[in-house]
Amino acid sequence: MEELLQKFENKKPEIVFEWQDSETEACGWVVINSLRGGAAGGGTRMRLGLDRREVESLAKTMEIKFTVSGPPIGGAKSGINFDPNDPRKKSVLKRWYKAVVPLLKNYYGTGGDLNVDEIAEVIPMTEEYGLWHPQEGIVNGHFHPTDREKINKLGQLRQGVSKVIEDANYTPALHKKLTVADMITGYGVAQSVAHYYELWDGKLAGKRAIIQGWGNVGSAAGFYLAKMGVKIVGIIDRAGGLILPEGFSFQEITKLLLDKDGNKLIAPNMLPYEKVNEQIWETPAEIFIPAAASRLVTRSQIDALIKVGLEVIACGANVPFADPEIFMGATGKYADQHISLIPDFIANCGMARVFAYLMGNEVEVTDGAIFEDTSMTIRKALRKIRSVSDSKSLIAHRAFEIALKQLI
């Protein structure tokens, strides 16, 4: 696996598109690791301090993710170095999409990512520049569809991604009008934990979990885990957090999801960040969901969690460990050797899988069909790992080996 990973990491991306905004200091990159299968896919993120290397690493992560989610295409990513809280964000994004629309028309498909919203920003902005859907480049480049097939696939994408969830089994509140895109990645992370315990002979209900980050991924994962009987004992967010060793009730977790302000945790009794960061890593929990920004989780935090009973990490964030390597650095390897580590390209593949599902021929566009397809895709990937070995350690190692053999 090490040799395969090094070869994949060191291979230069096929296409790098660099952009400098004409009206602000914003700059950005589209990195296409390869045009495997004639196309490439990966979301658009924005954060201050982002650089080309981060975008390259995420493009490679996407390529591995497509070995799980499908379709069999190359990995890509868009990244914009700009403060997402700046009031000029909307105009920056509009100019960005205007610049990259030729790629999105022919062989690149994108979506939402960190600080960029799929429904509110990506879809309407790309529509404004003539795209039927931001995944149109994948439909054209990979499937080479007839006119009828193209209309069908893009129609399914338009309907399914923005679909308001109507089935009470998949939403915390019908009146909130949450969409598939809002909830599916967090749902997949929670399902990865459920399938892990099912396949490795464990009981999920009654387990305790800590969530890092309370955006769409973390809050949805917390909601679905709580619904399955997991006790959420701690939440750490950018500005603060909450700790309750006996666990918050399902109703309390639901309210925290519904009350969040964008990607921010909102609670009247929130602990300041310094205090929660000092205490949460010593709070007993079997499950840890890193679902904030990339490269935050340290070796000392992993050690502290292991000491108080950690069993499994399901990566809601891409590349969550504070290592310089693109994939498995020292911290990631340490975690993989000592506990069960479900890698990001399996745990958080939900949105990528939805795109792949909706590009199928005449698929059922219902909440149940979309969510259960994601669940079964994740289960299939974990089952394949389990068939290689029943060991609860080195799960990520085996997962990378299976994926890389398809790419190299």
Tens-digit pLDDT profile for residues 10-53: 899 999 999 999 999 999 999 999 999 999 999 999 999 999 99
Please say if the pLDDT value at position 56 is more than 90: yes
Q: Give dist(CA 95, CA 189) in Å, integer.
A: 33
Please say if the pLDDT value at position 186 is more than 80: yes
* Inter-residue contact 242 to 252 (CB < 8 Å): no
Side chain identity at residue 25, one-letter code:
E
* Inter-residue contact 203 to 236 (CB < 8 Å): no
Domains in the chain, start-ordered, CATH in brackets? 13-162 (3.40.50.10860), 174-405 (3.40.50.720)
If you average pLDDT over residues 275-290, what whole number do you get? 98
If you average pLDDT over residues 208-215, what whole number do you get? 97
The two three-digit tokens of residue 287, written as one number: 């499950």
Please say if the pLDDT value at position 262 is more than 90: no
If you average pLDDT over residues 144-173, what whole number do you get? 96
Residue 300's pLDDT is what?
98
Q: Give dist(CA 182, CA 263) in Å, integer.
A: 11
- What pLDDT digit, counting tens, does each position of 83-132 carry? 999 999 999 999 999 999 999 999 999 999 989 999 999 999 999 999 99
State the pLDDT confidence band at 202, using cuts at 50, 70 and 90: confident
State the pLDDT confidence band at 293, using cuts at 50, 70 and 90: confident
Share above pLDDT 70 across residues of the chain, in percent, rounded to a whole number: 100
State the pLDDT confidence band at 201, using cuts at 50, 70 and 90: confident
Mean pLDDT for all residues in the chain: 96
Please say if the pLDDT value at position 163 is more than 80: yes
Residue 5's pLDDT is what?
83
**Which residues, listed in sequence order, are joined to residue 271 by a DSSP beta bridge?**
241
* Inter-residue contact 118 to 161 (CB < 8 Å): yes
Q: How far is CA 36 from CA 56, 61, 63, 323, in A?
A: 16, 14, 9, 28
Please say if the pLDDT value at position 4 is more than 90: no
State the pLDDT confidence band at 356, using cuts at 50, 70 and 90: very high
Residue 6's pLDDT is what?
84
Please say if the pLDDT value at position 229 is more than 90: yes
- What pLDDT digit, counting tens, does each position of 306-324 carry? 999 999 999 999 889 999 8
* Inter-residue contact 321 to 81 (CB < 8 Å): no
Please say if the pLDDT value at position 144 is more than 90: yes
If you average pLDDT over residues 145-155, what whole number do you get? 96
State the pLDDT confidence band at 151, using cuts at 50, 70 and 90: very high
Residue 335's pLDDT is what?
98
Please say if the pLDDT value at position 1 is more than 80: no
Please say if the pLDDT value at position 167 is more than 90: yes
Q: Give dist(CA 37, CA 383) in Å, integer.
A: 26
Angle at the Cα of 289 from the Cα atoms of 357 and 322, rounded to 5 degrees: 105
Please say if the pLDDT value at position 157 is more than 80: yes
Side chain identity at residue 132, one-letter code:
W
Q: Give dist(CA 201, CA 10) in Å, integer.
A: 38
More confident residue, 156 or 10: 156
